[in-house]
Each structure stands twice: as C-alpha cells, then as structure tokens.
Amino acid sequence: MRFCPKPLSGRRNRVLTVFSLSLLLLGLISLPTRAVPKSSPSLFVGTIYTVNTTADDDDGSCDPLPSGDCTLREAINLANADGDSSTIEFNIPNPGPGCDGITCIITIDSALPSIWSPEGPTIDGTTQAANQGDTNSYGPEIEISGETAPVGTVCFRLSSPTSHTTIKGLVIRCTGQGIRIWGNYNTIIGNYIGTDATGTAVLGSFGSGISLDDVAQNNTIGGPTEADRNLISGNHSGIALWGSTTTGNIIEGNYIGTDRTGTQPLGNTYHGIYIHDGAHDNTVGPNNIIAYNGHLGVLVNEAGTTGNTITQNSIHSNSLGGINLSGGGNNMLASPSLSPGACDAVGGSTRIAWPSVAVEVFSDADGQGWFYEEGTFDWSPDGLSFTFYPASGSLHGLMVTATITDLTTGDTSEFSAPVPSGCPVTFLHLPLILKNYTP
C-alpha cells in the first residue's frame, strides 16, 4: 500500500513557497561578488574603462565626470586586475585641460604601468574621435607624451606572455621606447610613433619606436588595411627585434622613416628595422615603406639571426643602403646577379635552384628597391637562370635590383648590385595611397 501525503492547504503552500524563495535569495547574496567599474555596461562584452582626463594620477578607480575622473594610468591598472579582455576608450572634453581643440596630450612623468593581464586590453585612441568628433584631420586625437620624463622612460610596456593587447590610434613619444613588447600575440595598429600629431615633425625617442624584446612572439605591427598602418619615424631605430626567442612577428604596411604621406623624409636616426641577437623567422612585409633612415633600411645582424623574410616592400633613400646582412645574419645569403635590362625584361641568375628560391625584382633611381615589380619568370632547365617580364610591360625606374628568398630557410638576401633597366631616364614616382588621414 502506497502512502499518499495529503495535499497542503493553499495558505500552507504559499508560506513554504515564500520561505523557499527567501532561502534562495540569501544563498545568492552570500555568493562572492565582483566589483564592476562604473564605466562598464556589461561583463559579457568585457569591461570598458573610459579615460576622460589628461591627468596622470591614480586614485584606484575610474569614475565619470564631473564627480570624479578616469586617467589612463588608472584604467591600465584596473584592466590588469580585472582579468577581462577589457577596452580602454577615450572621451576627453576637447577643448579642456590638456586639450587645444585639436588633440589632447596626456603627459606622463614616468612609465605607464606594465600591461601584464593574460587577456590584455584594447587601448583604442580612435574612440576619442568617435566620442568628441574628428578634430585632427591629419592623425590621431590622443597623444601620449613622455618627453619630460627621465631619459629611457618607456611609454607602453607589454609584458604578459599571452597578452593579446592591442594599441591603436595614438600618438606616442617617450625618451626611451614608444612601445616595448616582451609578450605574444599583441597588435600595434594605426599609431604615430615618434612624430607629432600631424605626422610631419620629429618629436621621437632615444630608443626604438617599437622594441620586440626576447620572448616576443607572433606579434603584429601594422596590417593589410589602410587603418592598420603605423607611422614610425624620428626615433633611434624605427623597429628593433632581438633575442633568440623573438620569432613569428609580422611587420606589414607601415611607413618607417617618412612623414604621414609616405613621400617626405622624416627618418629614424639609425635603422628603419634592426633585427639582431638571434631573432629569427620574422617577416618584414608586404607593403612597408622604409625610407630616409640615417643608416640602413633593414639590418639583419649576427649569427643565429636567420630565417627573416623581407618581401614586397618599398625600401629606398636610406643613407647607407637598403638591406644589409652582417655577422652571419640570414646566413649571409648571396644576392642574385642581374644583367642590364631591355626595359621590358631583365635577366639574372641565383645560386639556389628554382623552385626552392623566390626572386623579387625592384626598380629604383639607384641601388635600393623603391618599386616592387610584379611580373612573371621564365626559368632555365637547371633552375639557376631566369628572365623576368614586368606585368606592366616595362620596368619603372632607371636601375633594377633584386633579392632572393630561400624558401627552405626563409632567409632573404640583400639587394643585388644595380643594373640599368634600359628604360628612359625619367624615374616614375608613383602616387601613394594614404590611410585614414588626409595630407
């Protein structure tokens, strides 16, 4: 015989329901909670911190105006602590303190906090224009200036091995490096590093614009779109890569040593890109303009600094040469040899047989590689000699050079000795496409 309990009366049932809900509410209240910054609309999309002042203090919180403020220093510290894929955006009243109606300058007297959060924030300077209007048609609206800080001060330090930090749309200048990267999977896009906010004057640093230090892997500097381009000029060297675990980094689509138009000199004091001390298997290209630098366009230096591919760039007008391999860099891969051209074709030879090698042909006014020539190759049966036919029907410059890349190792050579192109004496200065900003 089964025992069937008597149904509860309506009143008793309501009492037990209220009691049960009360217990549930108490349980929820007792669960650990996490403080949500006032500027965060939702934890599901990552915490958003809104920088609303050019001040540089840190009281531990990000507050809205006018009752408080949120400095960049405060926002970075909170982003480090929260563990989210946070966003640091900007909405600084302009004009206002530190803002002149065109740009807002955040002056730092010491390095900003190292960014060590494993998820890494996105620091997005383009949000200033979205929130306050496009007040600087020549470039970013937010400037980070460490010009008065002690010599060697680094503006941004990215030090988490798995950071995934993005720094975007800022003018950055410090007395040391603009950005120093120890970590992996970081993205640096759309910044002016070493110049003023118009991209026409040098205000650079005593260090590199960007330094990828030992244990810097799979970082991206620039990118394939116009909005990705960094302007990196007026520094000691534009970009430096060093250390035996610095690998897999991509440098693409940047202006290194020019003004914002890519046409006028604003060179870095030494090299455009300096790869050394065992940094290996990194890629420079495509579509960088590396020009007007005080020493070399690209220097690959020291034994073990190998597998660095330099491809489809415009490298020209650097004082001591376009690409230089020294001390064992890129295994000292020998350049191809070219024969004088006939304007619609140029022949040459390599020491590595095709198809284990890629040849790139360039036109220039002298011995570097101003214009990357697209076209087709006819190879000899032994794969050691070629004839190149430019896609446009004729070569573009007075002189022709070439590089080879060993497809087995990834090493790229220096430019070959230049030969006459066979074309008329007028060198073609092609128009350049700008990114976000008008000249």
Q: Count other C-beta atoms under 10 Å from residue 419's C-beta.
A: 19
- Residue-wise pLDDT tens digits, 379-403: 999 999 999 999 999 999 999 999 9
Residue 159 phi/psi, 5-degree rounding, is: -125, 5
Q: Write out the two tokens for 405.
A: 């890349």
Could you give the C-alpha distances from 437 to 166, 265, 433, in angstroms and in order?
A: 20, 18, 10
Give the model's pLDDT for residue 131. Answer: 97
Residue 344 has pLDDT above 90, yes or no: yes
Token pair 């620039």 is at which residue? Answer: 222
Give the model's pLDDT for residue 426. Answer: 53
- Residue-wise pLDDT tens digits, 152-180: 999 999 998 877 999 999 999 999 999 99
Rounded Cα gap, residues 152 and 430, in angstroms: 39
In the chain, % of residues over pLDDT 90: 80
pLDDT band at 404 (very low <50, low <70, confident <90, very high): very high
Residue 420 has pLDDT above 60, yes or no: yes
Give the model's pLDDT for residue 45. Answer: 54
Give the model's pLDDT for residue 285. Answer: 98
- Across the chain, what does the average pLDDT equal? 88
Token pair 């950071």 is at which residue? Answer: 163
- Residue-wise pLDDT tens digits, 106-136: 999 999 999 998 888 999 999 999 999 999 9
- Residue-wise pLDDT tens digits, 8-47: 344 334 333 333 433 333 333 333 322 333 333 333 357 9
In degrees to the nearest 10, what's the CA dihedral of 11, 13, 16, 17?
A: -110
Show the CA angle centred on residue 416, arms to residues 261 and 424, nearest 5°: 65
pLDDT band at 204 (very low <50, low <70, confident <90, very high): low
Residues 6+ apart with CB under 8 A from 28: none
Q: Count other C-beta atoms under 10 Å from residue 379's C-beta.
A: 16
Report which of 136, 108, 244, 250 is spatially closest to residue 187, judged by C-alpha positions.
Answer: 250
Rounded Cα gap, residues 75 and 97, in angstroms: 19
- Residue-wise pLDDT tens digits, 290-323: 999 999 999 999 999 999 999 999 999 999 999 9
CATH class for domain 336-429?
Answer: mainly beta
Rounded Cα gap, residues 312 and 370, in angstroms: 10
Residue 216 has pLDDT above 70, yes or no: yes
As a whole number, mean pLDDT of residues 63-71 equals: 93
pLDDT band at 288 (very low <50, low <70, confident <90, very high): very high
Q: Please give the model's pTM, rounded to 2 decimal places.
A: 0.88
Residues 6+ apart with CB under 8 A from 203: 147, 173, 194, 195, 196, 234
Residue 195 has pLDDT above 50, yes or no: yes
Give the model's pLDDT for residue 321. Answer: 98
